[in-house]
Amino acid sequence: MAQRGRKSAGDLAAVSSIPERPKPPRELTRDQNKVWLRVVSALPIDWFGSETHDTLKQFCVHVVDAEKIRKWIDDLDAEATYKDFDNLLKMQERESRAMNALARSMRMTQQSTYIPHKSRKLDAVKKTWKTL
């Protein structure tokens, strides 16, 4: 049963925990760490619950791997065969698909964060040709 009357100072001084951005796991490399911090900083502070940390970790790994493959493609010399180039492009596509799937599952893509009532409607855009 609730206590009647005025609340004491102790009752009013409720301790609330301030949410913090998740720290990168120790097993990530320096480059993966940078991706983690960039992603976590770009979204609201409470976006990544502890249940998403493993998925976010995999996302960071795939981002760095895709960057490495891009560098390999850029560094291909004239003696590389079409098959070498094709294999690297296939590797890059697999990494891109994995990154996209993980980003969608954590609702990090623009499409999954779209809020209809906050989007600009075409009617709200000023039509300069009609103001003359």
Q: Which residue, 92, 53, 101, is CA-closest to 72? A: 92
Cα–Cα distance measured from residue 50 to residue 38, given in angstroms and rounded to the nearest whole number: 18
Mean pLDDT over the full length of the chain: 83
pLDDT tens figures, 16-75: 667 788 999 999 999 999 999 999 999 888 889 889 999 999 999 999 999 999 999 999
Q: How many CB atoms lie within 10 A of CB 120?
A: 7
Q: How many CB atoms lie within 10 A of CB 80?
A: 13
